[in-house]
Structure 1
Amino acid sequence: MGNRWVGVTIDCVDVERVAGFWSALLDRAPGPSEPGWVYLGQPGDAQPRLVFQPVTEPRRGKVRLHLDIAVDDIEAGVAQVIALGGSDTGERHEHPGGVVVVLADPEGHQFCLVEYR
């Protein structure tokens, strides 16, 4: 068996809150998890699982790795993020192939919503 990508781990102070945000945004239910952690998805899923790891200190500075989430309607996607407790950073990029909006989850982890044209 070769190497394969199985998950992305996100450090967070309030694991339940942040995992709940991502679960609702991606419509992905929690699966088997370690105590105090939350894993979205099941082992062996076609998509890598999102893993929420408890830490004691809040995020500081810009994280150099982020998730890109494709949406059909960028404005509806931004509204959903805000309604779920996320925030808009105000950063938006228009490209010939689509639009990218930089948002943040409830603890400030930045990610991009992308609407491809």
Structure 2
Amino acid sequence: MDFLVNLDVDDLERAVAFYSAVFDLRVGRRLGDFAVELLGGPAPIYLLRKEAGTPASPTDDTPRRSYERHWTPLHLDFVVDDIEPAVARAIDHGARLEQPAQSHAWGRLALLADPFGHGFCLIEFLGRGYDELAR
């Protein structure tokens, strides 16, 4: 089974620039003027242009899309080889640092938000990674 990652954004070109620069992704296809496929990770990321203030669902007009920092129970984790330069690169391209890299038994974790309000984490695994937690 494959899965796809879709992110709503209000500025498609700005989102392409951010995700390409920060995560070394490349444009696979442009799907009209409303979507761009980014490749280079383990799953394609589709950036979907959705205007701010539009309903998030056709069956319920609340909540409406907002590109201020928002919370959702789903977020992306990006595994990096070296967390400090990855955090700096993300910030240089418009991400907001919400929690500097902290060390855990399994590795290091930094919390950020992209320019469109989506939270994401940068993870640098150390030792055996999450296996450090397994019994």
TM norm structure 1: 0.84
* Deviating 4+ runs (over 4 angstroms): none
Q: 1 or 2, which has the higher strand percentage?
A: 2
Separation in 2 of the partners of 1:107 and 1:46? 20
RMSD after superposition: 1.9
Name the amino acid aligned to 1:55: K
Specify the code of the residue in structure 1 equivalent to 2:73: R
Q: 2:80 aligns with which of 59, 71, 74?
A: 71
Distance 2:51 2:102 in 1: 34
Q: Which amino acid letter does the alignment assign opposite residue 22 of structure 2?
A: L
Where structure 2 has 5 or more consecutive residues not aligned to the other structure, the ranges are 53-65, 127-135
Aligned to 1:40: 38
Q: Deviations over 1:56-91 (max 9, x none)?
A: 112363021111111122111110101111110126
1:53 aligns with 2:61: no
Q: Highest relative contact order (Cα 8 Å, sep 6+), 1 or 2?
A: 1
Alpha-carbon separation, structure 2, partners of 1:95 and 1:22: 27
Greater CA deviation, 55-64 or 106-115? 55-64
Q: Post-superposition shift, 1:92?
A: 4.8
- Answer with 1 or 2: which has the greater Rg: 2
Provide Cα deviations, 1:5-38, integer angstroms capped at 9, x if missing partner: 2310000101111122111122121012211211
Aligned twin of 2:10: 13
Which sections of structure 1, spanning at least 5 residues, go unmatched?
none
Residues 93, 39 of structure 1: alpha-carbon distance in 2 compared, 3 angstrom cutoff:
same
